[in-house]
Structure 1
Amino acid sequence: MSVKQNMDSDRISIPVVTALVGLLGLSLLNGAFPTVRIASFSFFQIHVFWIIGVCLVGYLLLIRKSVEVSVPLLFLALFAVYATMTISWTTSISDTVRAIFHIVSSATVIAAIIYTLRGKRDFSVLVYGFFAIVTITVLIAFWEYWTGNHLPVSRLTDPSRANTRGFSSVFINRNYFVFLLAVTAPILVWELLRRRSVAARFATLGLLITAFRLIVYNGGRSGLIAGSLGVGVTVVFWILRDNIRAWLSSWLPVFTALVGSTTVLGLVLPKIASNPFDKAASFGLWSRWQLLDLAGTMLVEKPLGHGIGAFTSVAARSSVDTGRIINPHSWIAQLAGEVGAVGLLLFVLAYGLLADQLFQTYLNGDDGYALPLCVSVLSFAIASLGTGDPLHSSRIFWVIYGLGLAYVHVVVTSGFSRFQSSDPQAVNLNDQRTD
């Protein structure tokens, strides 16, 4: 039996794929659902999809004969274990418990994505399901525009924000909506490049233009930069694949080195240089610099971390002036302060190595989603700067990361070096490449 026949015959059932798409939807849209509060904990938003995910993962582990573990997944698992261990020395038990549950539930979603998919058709269905979820968030933003109303979860419902411009869709903050749109942009432009169908191209182009229009309307500077760079880098890497392959004759952890050096620079620079931004004129940039300064101080105070989720409680009583902003507003500050050097290193390796593996897969001739997923994963570093809590309050990053890991498992770990789209309207990008 050929590889193609084997992959197609090993497809999972439609109900399981539907459950997985529903799991993604609940993960991203959970804020729009009613919330039941017991003490200080929120239920339904965070529990329903987790229960579905546990059942799905349990089912998959029962029917699978073996479980593959890629290198990025290994480091991510070590990060999750270490982050959970920080409850032993955390400075805020309640915040750490919430963060641990978030990590466990996010890990459940990632595991479900990875071990559900068995072939190219499954992954295509999942990507289209993801597009459908993003489209739902855009339609809700249109509803906000037409009616002037917002979902109950949105901070824009606060009377004090009545004059605030923007749409938050299903999220508490409009910056999370911008975050989602920005990391989706590279995947959308890839679909635009690879479609022969005029109707499909118009639909994709319409969604891409709408996404950028909403980003601009919401004033998402980091999202605009991340989305624009993501689109540009995707197009350039598509055109220059052969040139890049010739330059990188052997595998090099380029993105891991880039992420690592950026992390070190982000923590060291605020400690050795004064804040270059004016507090009154550029408060957003000024406060983010101060938050990185605070993270460096927290790292020196407790090299093992103050406990996952404990950044805000430490920032609230810190002597470092952050302009009363206590949310980290960057994953570097968040992880440096919460999980310390060990946890930060594990995350950098999990993050950078996945991007490297996806990019190498693309250079090896992959015509599927390796490149746009690589760019989307990397764009998180910039797009998340607009969000107060990029890793705990939103599962956007974890969903994108899970899609990237799933692709690695479907294409690389499973031994399929070339990923052809099941869509007959899809373009073989090798045929369109310019020399």
Structure 2
Amino acid sequence: MAFISVKIAVALFVLYFIAVLFLVVFKPWIFPLSFPVIVLYLLIISSFFGAAIFNVKIGPVSLFPYRMLYIVMVFVFALYFIKEKTFLDWENNRIKPVLLFHLFWLFYACASLAWVRSLKVGLLDFIFLAIGVSLIFFAVFLLNERKHFLHIFYIWILMFTFLILIGLWNHFTRHHLPISRINVAPLYQQGIPTAVFVNENDYASFIAVSFFFLLAFIHRIPSFFLKGIGFIVLVLSLYVLLLTSSRANDIAIGLGVLVWFLFLTDRLVKKRLIIAGTGALILFREKALEFFSRFEQGLHSLNTAGNTSVDIRTNLIKNSLLFFEKSFGFGIGSGNAEFYLAHFSHYPTGGIINVHNWWVEILVNYGMFVFVGYLLIYIWTIVQLCKLFQRTLRYEKMVCEGLIGGMIAFSFSCISPSSQISLNYLWLLFAFSFAFIHFQRKKDHSNELIRSNRGVNHGQAFE
């Protein structure tokens, strides 16, 4: 017990140190902020590190900064709700269907525990889901000023840069954080970067999504110095991504860049990019051919029989769809895909028991209702962000541009990790997007009311 107490004390001290460092470094920006928003910022920063930094095992529970700050955030959120009745202004909420769907998802996941085969796995999955959904609620109700979104956007870019540097450190020194699977991998794999993630697929998916935040920053920021720094990090991120050998994320970035080029840049930028791209192709012809060959091989391998990795992933999907069919479309229950793949697989998966496809994982675990709702909300989010992109100003357009690229890349990046539900950046991406849409809709609604009141007052004055 004394040893556990020491661990808790050290963990709390580290958390306190992180909080103080954050307050000192970002003092000019955070003092005007409310206390719940400051805690949310700290929670978001810690979410990028997850269990990789200062992970203390206390019995069956792992304690690390993100979980400790999450508990603090829950209490702070609850206290402010009790103290200020207007804190959760539900009546004026502009994205009620989105929030109601996530509440329904939580309720359905909880109800599904009644028919799961493995209650332990189901409860763990439900906890991850509850933490992710609550992050969405924190963001939607707390982020209600323009500066909040710029702060989180910059935090994301800074964390992305830091994690790219960790990935380069992994590759060149062959050293890895304790959480990484590479620590027990064969010698020839020691140069594969994983940063703060368990494996390279999780890391590559994070890079694919975050890439577009930095791309939007380079595109919209006026400072040429910051553009240059950003471009260097962007190139390094592509290099690290290639080291992970994640084909799905190569395609994710390719698709995202294509959408960005076609729909999110103006004619002048397109012209400059074509000229610069042509010059780069001439100067670095061999590297360019190597990259395009790799991209083509990635596309080809996803549809080629005889590839062991692809065959296994195909069988994982076939097994999952079989389980879904036998559940009559209601799903096998929270998190139980892994248990079913381990015990009831019809097609061979080489001992792999994770679905490795977020879309299929939602379908098999939670059934048709949740899957269709999630898919519709995903499409709705991209459509709403595209609409906002057309009418926002420079810095809000930058945030919007990064979110659109990240959401587009997510369509393929989410089929790379073994499971997405415990990956914090997934929930943060959606929370950020929902909160931004909510903020813009509330602002539009307020402007409409102001215009309406002016019209009434003008009419009364005229009479």
C-alpha deviations, 1:306-351, integer Å up to 9, x for none?
1111111100121222232211111122112111112212222232
Q: 1:334 to 1:135 in 2, by over 3 A?
A: same
Shift of 1:55: 2.8
Report the equivalent of 2:366: 339
1:385 paired to 2:412? no
1:300 paired to 2:325? yes
SS state at 1:42 partner: strand
| Cα root mean square deviation, aligned | 2.5
Report the equivalent of 1:405: 434
Report the equivalent of 1:58: 78
In 2, the alpha carbon distance for the partners of 1:366 and 1:412 equals 15
In 2, the alpha carbon distance for the partners of 1:117 and 1:124 equals 11
Report the equivalent of 1:250: none
In 1, the alpha carbon distance for the partners of 2:73 and 2:153 equals 18
SS state at 1:415 partner: helix
Q: Give the structure-1-normalised TM-score.
A: 0.79
Indicate conservation of the 8 Å contact 1:31/1:172, yes or no.
no
Shift of 1:98: 0.8
Q: 1:134 to 1:239 in 2, by over 3 A?
A: closer
1:130 paired to 2:160? no
In 2, the alpha carbon distance for the partners of 1:156 and 1:234 equals 34
In 1, the alpha carbon distance for the partners of 2:424 and 2:53 equals 15
C-alpha deviations, 1:190-236, integer Å up to 9, x for none?
11111211111112212211111110111121112112321231232
Report the equivalent of 1:351: 378
Percent identity between matched residues is 21
C-alpha deviations, 1:241-274, integer Å up to 9, x for none?
9xxxxxxxxxxxxxxxxxxxxxxxxxxxxxxxxx
Map 1:359-398 → 2, pairs under 5 A: 359-365=386-392, 367=394, 368=397, 369-390=399-420, 392-398=421-427
C-alpha deviations, 1:358-389, integer Å up to 9, x for none?
12222345652223312312321201222111
In 2, the alpha carbon distance for the partners of 1:404 and 1:202 equals 27
Report the equivalent of 2:62: 42
Amino acid at match of 1:31: A
Q: 1:66 to 1:219 in 2, by over 3 A?
A: same
Report the equivalent of 1:253: none
Q: 1:385 to 1:159 in 2, by over 3 A?
A: closer
Report the equivalent of 2:42: 22
SS state at 1:385 partner: coil
In 1, the alpha carbon distance for the partners of 2:371 and 2:309 equals 24
SS state at 2:330 partner: coil
Amino acid at match of 2:324: L
Q: 1:192 to 1:80 in 2, by over 3 A?
A: same
1:316 paired to 2:342? yes
Amino acid at match of 2:181: R
Indicate conservation of the 8 Å contact 1:12/1:116, yes or no.
no
Unaligned residue ranges in structure 2 (runs of 5+): 1-30, 268-301, 448-463
Q: 1:335 to 1:115 in 2, by over 3 A?
A: same
- Picking from 192, 202, 222, the partner of 1:196 is 222
In 2, the alpha carbon distance for the partners of 1:137 and 1:417 equals 39
Amino acid at match of 2:255: L
In 1, the alpha carbon distance for the partners of 2:99 and 2:234 equals 30
Greater helix share, 1 or 2?
Answer: 2
Q: 1:103 to 1:193 in 2, by over 3 A?
A: same
Q: Give the structure-2-normalised TM-score.
A: 0.74
Map 1:415-426 → 2, pairs under 5 A: 415=444
In 1, the alpha carbon distance for the partners of 2:377 and 2:110 equals 16
